[in-house]
Structure 1
Amino acid sequence: MIKVLFVCLGNICRSPMAEAIFRDKVEKAGLTDKITVDSAGTGGWHIGEPPHKGTRKKLQELGISSQGLKGRQMTSQDLDQFDYIIGMDESNIENINKLAEQAPKANVRRLMDYINDMPVRDIPDPFFTGNFDEVHEMIDKGTDSLLEEICREKNIN
């Protein structure tokens, strides 16, 4: 089983949106028996909380469920348990890499690193910008490329 973890700052906006969108793509591709998805935050402010109302609204518009999504903080154990740890911005990557010093096996990248023609590498935090549409567009493109790369790397059809 291939395990993917999406990570942002508080785990209420970007990473749960990425988790839900990627899970939906995995289900539609018939790959739920091969790929599992989760999300976490580098900070612990929103542990146990549902996604931000902007994230829930965007997912609802897309017909994607946010049910069962709850904020949690990333731990060093995640670095051993997940094959792909995908940060939303450079700050997330720096925080993940601080944990990775304890468990250097993790494959850590920003989601936008999977898109060659994307000039912007950081997905802005809609908790501060309020722009959930922009974040959705970036996550949608990034998760398409991520799924393609996983299928190519792992020889999954």
Structure 2
Amino acid sequence: MRKVLFVCTGNTCRSPMAAVVLQDKVKAECLTNEIYVSSAGLAAVPGSPAADNACAAVASLGLSLGSHKATALSMNMIEAADLVFTMTRQHRDAILRALPTAGRKVFTLTEYVEAAEEEITDPYGGDLSSYHNCLLLLKKNIDKAWPMIRALV
């Protein structure tokens, strides 16, 4: 089984939204036994729910974060993953400082799809529109990454 891990700061907005979007693609192609998708945060408070506006944004796509609980990133999670997608270069660099050997599998989501200058900014504390815009950017990049992720299986 291939493991894809999304990482952001608090694991209540960007990475859970990204994970649920990719999980939906995995499920739609009946690949749940081949691709496992998860998310974590560099500064997550374990057990925190997804932000209300993140839940509302994904609901607009017919998806749900209702059962999401924030998870703190661990080195074991990085080592077990086949791909680690961060939201910003700062997230990526923090992971690589802690685990330099992970360099070949840790990318910002946008650099993975060759949109290297773009980052997924944090909508935390913003209005629903900022969450929806973030979700659309995540979805656009995940759609671009999907053929490469799918090729892993």
Mapped partners of 2:83, 2:12: distance in 1: 20
Q: Counterpart amino acid of 2:10?
A: G
SS at match of 1:66: coil
Mapped contact 1:115–1:141 kept (Cα < 8 A): no
The separation in 2 between residues aligned to 1:138 and 1:120, in whole angstroms, is 13
Moved segments of 4+, more than 6 Å: none
| Residue in structure 2 matched with residue 148 of structure 1 by the alignment | 147
| Other-structure match for 1:113 | 111
Kindly, what percent of the aligned residue pairs are identical? 28
> What residue is the counterpart of 1:125 in the other structure?
122
Q: Kindly tell me the number of residue pairs found equivalent between the two proteins.
A: 151
Runs of 5+ in structure 1 lacking a partner?
none
- Whole-Å Cα distance in 2 between the matches of residues 60 and 129 of structure 1? 17
CA RMSD of aligned residues (A): 1.8
C-alpha distance in structure 2 between counterparts of 1:62 and 1:132, whole Å: 13
Task: Evaluate the alpha carbon distance shift between residue 95 and residue 119 of structure 1 in structure 2; reply closer, same or farther with a 3 A threshold.
Answer: closer
Instruction: Please tell me whether the aligned partners of residues 51 and 71 of structure 1 are also in contact (alpha carbons under 8 angstroms).
Output: yes
* SS of alignment partner, residue 102 of structure 2: coil
What residue number does 2:138 align with?
139
In the alignment, which residue of structure 2 is the partner of 1:104?
102
Q: Deviations over 1:87-127 (max 9, x none)?
A: 001111122112213x53760001112333x4742101000
Stretch of structure 1 that moved more, 136-145 or 105-114:
105-114
Asked if structure 1 preserves the Cα contact closer than 8 Å seen for 2:11 and 2:40, the reply is yes
User: How far apart are the structure 2 equivalents of 1:127 and 1:65?
Assistant: 18
- Secondary structure of the residue aligned to 2:138 is helix
User: TM-score when scaled to structure 1?
Assistant: 0.88
